[in-house]
């Protein structure tokens, strides 16, 4: 087994709140921490304590090759945007639960990680707890017979939230465990919740689930409880298991061989005092980080990957809907399509199953979107375009007629593809040789433009805001803001974000933006370094 000591990744930790500080401690102890990202004043002190870099924002770190990945422990509403930016930048990502607040956002992250070849792991901590791992093993080995009922209590006093209710704060841990034990999604979800401190934010919720197999489960969570209680009870037809995380290690997992016998037509309970199950005393958070590092080293799928997190998120959304509507939600576990979307598909166009399309996107005549493709908001596809399968396209991209985006190609936001331009995904194609396992990845960065009839040879990266001239053949890496023409394409100048060709002063004649050369092309200087208005002439 690969250990975290066998490789030397370096992570940027975004967020140093309550849980972020725990992550900082563990990452530092394993010599994995390279930076702490948080604008709070205490973040700088924490970075000094661990002898690492401090930044107030994540983007400066994303451009550095010496950082292997990002660990995200910020408020839940920021998880999607930060994880998306990190994946776009080619980083492996560990993001705390929940992966996102919307299923569509979580699905986009999963597809983006797949397209970019990145590891995306979600912090469902208790799936790395030695007690739960042993409990799950005992269930799988039939030690308590067939599962009948599972319930959990996660109760405490404090850790109140203003931005999320207790369902979203506490219940993901228990949902993750219950779904792992069930091996299936529920058919019905019914939940209630009450807000006492703030009527809009539930302080206590009860969620009940029914499964096709006959299993039932419930989760009770509250942050208005006099004592801390973290219990998972698993009931089988030949015994019970109790995982009580508040107990010392020798009592965290108990095996009860309770039985029910029928005598004279009446059920009679035979009680058992219970036996502790021996466990290895390992900090779950440390084991979780070790697993992340092992997955990075082996390029392996994490135990709690994006797909596992999406299953949890779907049930959370169903429970939230049940609370709001005061009714049972029939859970469609097989549905992977977005709800009725606010996008347009022409009647002659085709969209396969398992496709995500953002609001405002328009897909015109005879175009085809193939399976497992993820398309952002406000994109436009002209006539006879083909996308996919397994393609990720950002927001605001525009495709003129007759453009095909094949598997292996990823486009960030605001990319323009001129009519009949060509992406390839195999370097040496032959009609009589199957080479789907040889697809090379191509990445087009934010704001780049590709002219009519240009060809992008696979395996290359088009830098942000680069401009590829009509008919050019790109055979290598293209720097940010480069102006490329010819076959093979060569750089003949620089262009600004607004598409204007830059002179020797590297000042945009349209906006006055000032640029400077760097190792990966041009970079935009800060706002206060813009040229004065008198320089804005052609």
For 212-251, the three-class secondary structure string (H helix, E strand, C coil) is: CCCCEEEEEEECEEEEEEEEEEEEECCEEEEEECCCCHHH
For 223, the token pair is 């942050």
Which among 85, 118, 151 is the end of a domain?
118
Is-cis flag, bond preceding 488, omega within 30?
A: yes
Angle at 185 between CA 181 and CA 190, to 5 degrees: 105
We report the CATH number of the domain holding residue 494 as 2.160.10.10
Query: Residue 219 has which token pair?
Result: 């989760």
Same domain, 493 and 415: yes
Confidence (pLDDT) at 358: 87
Tokens standing for residue 379: 């994109």
Please give the Cα distance from 410 to 461 (Å, whole number): 10
- 298, 330, 362 - which closes a domain: 330
Residue 301 lies in a domain: no
Is 0.75 topped by the overall pTM?
no
pLDDT of residue 480: 96
What is the C-alpha separation between 348 and 370, in angstroms, rounded?
15
pLDDT of the chain, 538 residues: tens digit per residue:
444 444 578 999 999 998 999 999 999 999 999 999 999 989 999 999 999 999 999 988 998 889 999 999 999 899 999 999 999 999 999 999 999 998 888 988 988 888 888 999 999 999 999 999 999 999 999 999 989 999 999 998 876 666 678 899 899 999 999 999 998 889 999 999 988 887 788 899 999 999 988 999 999 999 998 988 999 999 998 899 999 999 999 999 999 987 666 667 777 777 778 899 999 999 999 999 999 999 999 999 999 999 999 999 999 999 999 999 999 998 765 443 334 447 888 888 999 988 888 888 999 999 999 998 999 989 999 999 999 998 999 999 999 999 999 999 999 999 999 999 999 988 888 888 887 778 889 999 999 999 999 999 999 999 999 999 999 999 999 999 999 999 999 999 999 999 999 999 999 999 999 999 988 899 998 654 444 443 333 3
Within a domain: 240: yes
- 45: domain CATH number is 3.40.50.720
Residues 273 and 417 occupy one common structural domain = no
- 163 and 242: one domain? yes
Q: Is 302 domain-assigned?
A: no
Q: Are residues 232 and 132 in the same domain?
A: yes
- 138, 101: one domain: no
Instruction: Answer yes or no: is 295 within a domain.
Output: no
Q: Tally Cβ neighbours within 10 Å of residue 253.
A: 26
Does residue 149 sit in the same domain as residue 241?
yes
Beta carbons within 10 angstroms of residue 432's beta carbon? 4
- For 284-300, the pLDDT digits (tens) are 999 999 999 999 999 99
Cross-sheet strand order for the sheet of 362-363: 344-345, 362-363, 380-381, 398-399, 416-417, 449-450, 467-468, 482-485, 490-494
One domain for residues 233 and 358: no
- Structural domain of 266: 127-279+316-330
Which of 157, 15, 126 has its CA nearest to residue 75? 15
Question: What is the pLDDT at residue 334?
Answer: 46
Pairing of strands 416-417, 442-444: unpaired
The answer to whether residue 207 sits within a structural domain is: yes
Say if 337 falls within a structural domain.
Answer: no
pLDDT of residue 538: 32
Is residue 173 domain-shared with residue 110, that is, in the same domain? no
Dist. CA 82–CA 84, nearest whole Å:
5
Chain position carrying tokens 């607004």: 498
Residue 289, domain member (yes or no): no
Which of 307, 330, 353 terminates a domain? The answer is: 330
For residue 506, is it left (φ>0), alpha (ψ between -120 and 50) or beta? left
Q: Do 204 and 160 lie in a common domain?
A: yes
Q: Angle at Cα 66 formed by Cα 423 and Cα 411, nearest 5°? A: 20
The Cα 508–Cα 510 span in angstroms is 5
Residues 224 and 77 in one domain: no
Q: How many domains does the chain have?
A: 3
Any domain includes 36: yes
**389 and 359 in a common domain:** yes
207 and 226 co-located in one domain: yes
Question: 98 preceded by cis ω (within 30°)?
Answer: yes
What is the 3-class SS of 80-104, one letter each residue?
Answer: HHHHHHHHHCCCEEEEECCCCCCHH
Is 412 within 8 Å of 88 (Cβ atoms)? yes
């Amino acid at each position: 087994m690969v250990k975290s000591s066998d490789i030397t990744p370096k992570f940027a930790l975004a967020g140093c709140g309550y849980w972020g500080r725990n992550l900082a401690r563990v990452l530092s102890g394993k010599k994995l921490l390279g930076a702490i990202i948080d604008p709070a004043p205490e973040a700088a002190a924490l970075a000094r304590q661990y002898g690492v870099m401090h930044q107030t924002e994540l983007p400066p770190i994303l451009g550095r090759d010496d950082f292997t990945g990002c660990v995200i422990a910020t408020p839940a509403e920021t998880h999607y945007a930060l994880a998306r930016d990190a994946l776009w930048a080619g980083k492996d990502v560990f993001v705390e639960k929940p992966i996102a607040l919307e299923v569509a956002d979580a699905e986009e992250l999963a597809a983006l990680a797949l397209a970019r070849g990145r590891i995306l792991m979600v912090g469902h901590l208790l799936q790395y707890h030695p007690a739960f791992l042993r409990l799950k093993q005992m269930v799988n080995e039939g030690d308590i017979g067939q599962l009948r009922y599972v319930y959990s209590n996660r109760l405490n006093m404090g850790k109140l939230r203003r931005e999320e209710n207790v369902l979203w704060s506490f219940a993901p841990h228990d949902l993750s465990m219950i779904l792992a034990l069930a091996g299936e999604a529920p058919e019905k979800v019914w939940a209630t919740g009450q807000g006492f401190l703030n009527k809009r934010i539930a302080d206590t919720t009860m969620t009940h689930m029914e499964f096709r197999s006959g299993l039932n489960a419930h989760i009770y969570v509250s942050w208005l409880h006099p004592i801390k209680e973290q219990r998972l009870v698993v009931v089988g037809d030949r015994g019970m298991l109790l995982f009580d995380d508040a107990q010392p290690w020798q009592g965290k997992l108990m095996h009860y061989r309770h039985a029910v016998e029928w005598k004279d037509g009446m059920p009679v309970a035979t009680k058992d005092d219970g036996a502790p199950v021996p466990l290895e005393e390992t900090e779950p958070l440390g084991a979780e980080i070790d697993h992340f590092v092992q997955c990075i080293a082996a390029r392996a799928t994490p135990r709690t990957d994006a797909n596992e997190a999406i299953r949890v998120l779907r049930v959370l959304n169903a429970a939230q809907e049940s609370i709001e509507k005061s009714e049972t939600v029939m859970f469609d576990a097989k549905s992977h399509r977005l709800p009725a979307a606010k996008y347009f598909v022409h009647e002659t166009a085709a969209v396969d199953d398992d496709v995500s399309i953002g609001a405002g996107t328009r897909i015109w005549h005879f175009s085809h979107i193939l399976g497992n493709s993820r398309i952002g908001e406000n994109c436009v596809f002209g006539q006879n375009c083909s996308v996919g399968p397994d393609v990720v396209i950002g927001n605001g991209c525009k495709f003129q007629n007759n453009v095909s985006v094949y598997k292996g190609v990823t486009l960030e936001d605001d990319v323009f593809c001129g009519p009949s331009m060509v992406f390839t995904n195999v370097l040496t194609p032959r009609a009589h040789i199957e080479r789907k396992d040889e697809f090379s990845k191509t990445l087009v960065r934010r704001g780049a433009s590709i002219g009519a009839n240009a060809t992008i040879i696979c395996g290359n990266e088009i830098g942000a805001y680069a401009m590829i001239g009509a008919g050019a053949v790109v055979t290598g890496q293209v720097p940010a803001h480069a102006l490329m023409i010819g076959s093979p394409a060569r750089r003949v100048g620089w262009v600004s974000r607004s598409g204007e060709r830059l002179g020797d002063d590297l000042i945009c004649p349209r906006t006055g933006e000032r640029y400077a050369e760097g190792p990966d092309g041009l970079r935009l200087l800060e706002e206060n370094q813009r040229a004065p208005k008198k320089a804005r002439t052609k």
